[in-house]
Structure 1
Amino acid sequence: MAIDAFEPHPIVRLLGKPSADFTAGDLVRAVEQLGLGQVNLRYVGGDGRLKTLAFPINSREHLLQVLTRGERVDGSSVFAGTDTDSSDVYIVPRHRTAFLNPFGERCSLDVLCSFYDEAGKPLPYAREQVVRRAAEVLTQQTGMSLEAFGELEYYLADAPERIYPVEEERGYQESGPFSKGQRIREQVLGHLSAMGVALKYAHGEVGNILEDDRQLVQHEIELQPVPLEQAADNLVVAKWVVREVASAHGLEATFAPLVSGQGAGNGLHIHSRLVRNGVNKIIGEEGINDTGRQLIAGYLSAARALSAFGNTVPTSYLRFTGGDESPEDICWGEKNRSGLVRVPLAWNGDVLAGMITHANPGSTEPVPEPATHPQTVELRLGDGSADVHLLLAGMAVAARHGLSDPGSLELAEELNTANHDDFGQLPTSCAEAADALETERQIFEADGVFLGALLDAILTRLRDTGDATPGGDPGKDDAAREELIRRHWHIG
């Protein structure tokens, strides 16, 4: 198979094959030809962060064993609530996820892993296994796959600059020298592309916040639609790369829902579409079709429960009530940014051709068509505290419910901002989100997608987090608000 000349993944170029076809033997060859001396097995822990187990390469046989067999780890140290008497679990490399890690003392080969129990069965509370199971069940029952990608927002914190100082709330797609952190953003793009993370673009976001002793400048990376498990992995890898690059520049990156008593917070909007045999099934000749409306209805009907995965700290709910573009109402609309679900503007063929001709008079080149129609629906629920694997798994569960519920089309009609203006509200606290999840838990436990013990652990954590809110009303008490922001600065 010919490799695209623009392919950014160095291992794909070296091996001359797509990453989906990587084998352990391929990776051994790549390590040898690149002269690497270390392999890192990576996995997503119970806190949603990327963990590392580093192996020096002792011999070809040793390398092949690591890349084939994986290793044992202490599950009780990875996942809260695991029984210490039976906590040994296996991590097994997924060869298709291999990439070069440029951040250590020496370049290494990194591979993401999946968890298995002592009997060799998928560990049901491991993040990647939950989202994998959710995607499988959706496809088994509907014949369609859910593809998704995130809009990852983050802030860089630095000392204020005297030259071209930032202007508050004026950062949207700003360019240097007014944009601060542009080089960091570009380095992040380069690393992620080389790691096989499919990206759309990156830019400065609205949030410029200027305080007495620091400036906070917001950025966004938008990814490309990929299958659900890969979409979750991509977001976790992207967060790790952002932090690594920022740290190398002596800066701090944060994905916290709120970063200051003023200014925009960090959202994590998730775009998705249903695909069968490469065809986008949520779009028709007149725009969003009935399948798309069923998908939207599924998200909206489960929205209060989904906040337990997408909004996991008290500052999430302060962001909701802060106004601006943070949704509170459980509704949807075409193009507008006030609803919880938004249908973004897509490219109509005739409109696109007209624009291209107007912008490029005399052009006769054919207009390229994407393999799959780019239309998505955007769930604007999540923020930087989201447990992304569980949020995407929950979205697959909600999608399946919407596609199977005979009342979904009627619900979509009722919750459309074009038809009504009185809607239900999202939770206002972690405890309320926990209550919503507990009420709907049977939907998430169905078909073995979410283990009951995992949901119990999530409910306990949310309720404990809510109880940890400092005295006073953080919505009105500046000191209480700042304490919450400080406490959850490095969430996600």
Structure 2
Amino acid sequence: MSRKQFCTKSDIIKFIDENKIEMVNFMYPAADGRLKTLNFVVTDQLYLESILTNGERVDGSSLFPFIGSGSSDLYVVPRFRTAFIDPCSEIPTLCLLCSYFDKDGNRLESSAEYALHKAAKVFTEETGLVMEAMGELEYYVIESVENTGEIFPVADQRGYHESAPFAKLNEFRMDCMRKIAKAGGMIKYGHSEVGNFTRNGKVYEQNEIEFLPTDLESAADQIVIAKYIIRNLAYSYGLEVSFAPKIITGEAGSGMHVHMRFIKDGKNITMENNELSTTARKAIAGLITLAPSITAFGNTNPTSYFRLVPHQEAPTNICWGDRNRSVLIRVPLGWNMSQCMSSVVNPCAEVEKGDTSMKPTFEMRSPDGSADIYQLLAGLCVACRYGITMSDEEALAIAERTYVDVNIHSAEHKHKLEALQSLPDSCAASAVCLQEQRAVYEQHSVFGASMIDGIIRKLESYRDGNLRQDIKDTPALMTNLVREFFHCG
């Protein structure tokens, strides 16, 4: 079911009537990044029209810590284009994502979803481009060894793209993908990831579902809906799922890499003449400049910083490169070769070069599943705009200075690693960086001052500035933190 079917209230009502929908759910992300739900039973046409037009009241103080109970009412109003049938509900249910409004009927300034809306709007106004993005959603699926058995084992950290029967939970991932697609998710592909291990009678298998690029707001919507579906389906299977950035020391953490591209007049301008375009290089310069504070949006709890360590395919330093998984920003293969690869392996096939112009992207590798995806994409959008609106001379100098074409964690390149700025190593450090760079995010009122203040307060509240050393002295502390943030995001 395509979301583009639903443009008006009449579209929604007609669909409900023709498909015998019994329930309508309003869904909206709260401060913890998870979708909250308000259920309506469809029994009265006038009431249905009323809630679709006017929304409903909710208690903002129970959803956001910065809203006091003395004046806490908010409105939630559905966005018709987000409608989808809940694929995990036995009762025919139509879900709609909602936007928050304040008592005066204005968009809630401190809403992350509204910040993303503003970021995308200002980006286009300032650059004349449309920014698109997509997320790579990594997560662990956990099942009892009693259910999987110990046959066809896979060595630890060797699960990348593994097939059944060595990967035990591929069917679950494919079922998730099918249901996410039915809910309107634009999926690129799915696969098992590198992380796999067995601990205390449980099998942990890391998986990834990667999406196709789309406008920023839709990209965020499909991530929160995908998480909702994966968790509900896991519950029905009797499985556990975690999007947490780190499950255990020494095993792969789960990231949420974000790919970006820029569209002008319907064309992808990330590459030009088979090279990364000047626009893309300038955007990367903006991301490089604001990278220390982007972790405040993309790495939001103490366990995030145990993923950002060497030799785990996660970034530790602020740099970029082509096809390089040791850097913060990676430019993947861009299909810019001259020959037809298909005709090489298929001698009877016609020699042709398919249109791959929309494929090139570049990837930010620091974020993880703890992120509020709306805040994160808003922050990345601000950073790209910041770089694109720099002078060519300044931006390209930053890009040139931070380009790396080697594995920065190998011993022979130690000198290059030492010349690079490190990412923050804790929530506390990220809070300091956000405070230092907040003025850029607050330009054009994309991020309200109160929102930035709230993010900083939350990061500071963890008091984790010395956490890496503390865990060396008290290993059980890591176990407690993993338990606390197991269902983050």
- Which TM-score band (shorter chain)? over 0.9
Find the aligned partners of 1:269 and 1:64 in 2 and give their Cα distance: 40
Matched, 1:152 2:140: no
Contiguous gaps of at least 5 residues in structure 2: 407-415
Q: Give 1:437's aligned residue.
A: 434
**Which stretch has the larger CA shift, 416-425 or 468-477?**
468-477
2:103 to 96, 118, 136: 118
CA contact (8 A) 2:140 2:206 kept: yes
SS for the counterpart of 1:268 is coil
CA distances 1:434-453 after superposition (whole Å, capped 9, x unpaired)? 00000001111111111111
Find the aligned partners of 2:472 and 2:310 in 1 and give their Cα distance: 9
CA contact (8 A) 2:139 2:243 kept: yes
Matched, 1:136 2:136: no
2:303 to 315, 319, 324: 315
1:202 to 169, 190, 213: 190
Deviating beyond 3 angstroms after TM superposition, the runs of 4 or more aligned structure 1 residues are 365-368, 418-421, 467-472
Matched, 1:356 2:353: no
Find the aligned partners of 1:348 and 1:172 in 2 and give their Cα distance: 26
Matched, 1:380 2:368: no
Find the aligned partners of 1:213 and 1:167 in 2 and give their Cα distance: 16
Q: Give 1:389's aligned residue.
A: 374
Q: Aligned AA for 1:359?
A: V
CA RMSD of aligned residues (A): 1.8
Query: How far off its partner does 1:276 sit?
Result: 1.3
Q: Give 1:6's aligned residue.
A: none
Query: How far off its partner does 1:262 sit?
Result: 2.6
Matched, 1:301 2:286: no
Q: Aligned AA for 2:47?
A: H
CA contact (8 A) 2:324 2:405 kept: no
Once the two structures are superposed, the pairs formed by residues 239-254 of structure 1 within 5 Å of their partners are: 239-254=227-242
Find the aligned partners of 1:261 and 1:417 in 2 and give their Cα distance: 27
1:410 to 397, 407, 416: 397
Q: Give 2:454's aligned residue.
A: 457
CA distances 1:145-165 after superposition (whole Å, capped 9, x unpaired)? 110001110001111222323
Find the aligned partners of 2:292 and 2:387 in 1 and give their Cα distance: 15
Distance 1:106 1:20, change over 3 A: closer
Find the aligned partners of 2:127 and 2:240 in 1 and give their Cα distance: 44
Query: How far off its partner does 1:105 sit?
Result: 4.3
Matched, 1:81 2:66: yes
Q: Give 1:52's aligned residue.
A: 37
Query: How far off its partner does 1:469 sit?
Result: 8.1
CA contact (8 A) 1:93 1:112 kept: yes
Distance 1:470 1:141, change over 3 A: closer
2:162 to 174, 194, 200: 174
**Which stretch has the larger CA shift, 249-258 or 65-74?**
65-74
Distance 1:88 1:171, change over 3 A: same
> Number of paired residues?
474
Q: Give 2:383's aligned residue.
A: 398
Q: Give 2:411's aligned residue.
A: none
CA distances 1:417-445 after superposition (whole Å, capped 9, x unpaired)? 14955210000111000000000011111
Query: How far off its partner does 1:321 sit?
Result: 2.3
SS for the counterpart of 1:443 is helix
Q: Aligned AA for 1:480?
A: L
CA distances 1:145-190 after superposition (whole Å, capped 9, x unpaired)? 1100011100011112223234311211111111121111011111
Q: Give 1:486's aligned residue.
A: 483
Query: How far off its partner does 1:467 sit?
Result: 4.8
CA contact (8 A) 2:23 2:41 kept: yes
Q: Give 2:258's aligned residue.
A: 270
Find the aligned partners of 2:5 and 2:202 in 1 and give their Cα distance: 44
Query: How far off its partner does 1:366 sit?
Result: 4.7
**Which stretch has the larger CA shift, 325-334 or 210-219?**
210-219
Distance 1:326 1:297, change over 3 A: same
2:312 to 312, 321, 324: 324
Find the aligned partners of 2:374 and 2:361 in 1 and give their Cα distance: 19
Distance 1:468 1:377, change over 3 A: closer
Find the aligned partners of 1:365 and 1:238 in 2 and give their Cα distance: 38
Find the aligned partners of 2:467 and 2:272 in 1 and give their Cα distance: 50
SS for the counterpart of 1:460 is helix
Q: Give 2:49's aligned residue.
A: 64
Distance 1:467 1:379, change over 3 A: closer
Q: Give 2:218's aligned residue.
A: 230
Q: Give 1:38's aligned residue.
A: 23
SS for the counterpart of 1:312 is coil
Query: How far off its partner does 1:76 sit?
Result: 1.6
Sequence identity (%): 39
Find the aligned partners of 1:268 and 1:394 in 2 and give their Cα distance: 15
**Which stretch has the larger CA shift, 75-84 or 475-484?**
475-484
Query: How far off its partner does 1:46 sit?
Result: 1.4
**Which stretch has the larger CA shift, 137-146 or 477-486?**
477-486
Find the aligned partners of 2:87 and 2:270 in 1 and give their Cα distance: 39
Query: How far off its partner does 1:47 sit?
Result: 1.2
Q: Aligned AA for 2:383?
A: A
Distance 1:152 1:379, change over 3 A: same
Matched, 1:29 2:14: yes
CA contact (8 A) 2:426 2:464 kept: no
Distance 1:348 1:129, change over 3 A: same
SS for the counterpart of 1:200 is strand
Query: How far off its partner does 1:479 sit?
Result: 1.5
Query: How far off its partner does 1:112 sit?
Result: 0.7
Query: How far off its partner does 1:44 sit?
Result: 1.1
Query: How far off its partner does 1:275 sit?
Result: 1.0
Contiguous gaps of at least 5 residues in structure 1: 1-8, 13-17
Find the aligned partners of 1:365 and 1:107 in 2 and give their Cα distance: 48
Q: Aligned AA for 1:334?
A: D
Distance 1:428 1:120, change over 3 A: same
1:474 to 471, 475, 478: 471
Q: Give 1:427's aligned residue.
A: 424
Q: Give 1:5's aligned residue.
A: none
Find the aligned partners of 1:363 and 1:197 in 2 and give their Cα distance: 32
CA contact (8 A) 1:255 1:266 kept: yes
Distance 1:176 1:476, change over 3 A: farther
Query: How far off its partner does 1:322 sit?
Result: 5.0
**Which stretch has the larger CA shift, 312-321 or 439-448?**
312-321
CA contact (8 A) 1:314 1:469 kept: no
Find the aligned partners of 2:453 and 2:109 in 1 and give their Cα distance: 14
What TM-score comes out, normalization by structure 2 length? 0.93
CA contact (8 A) 1:469 1:484 kept: no
SS for the counterpart of 1:473 is helix
Query: How far off its partner does 1:135 sit?
Result: 0.6
Query: How far off its partner does 1:88 sit?
Result: 1.6
Matched, 1:346 2:331: no
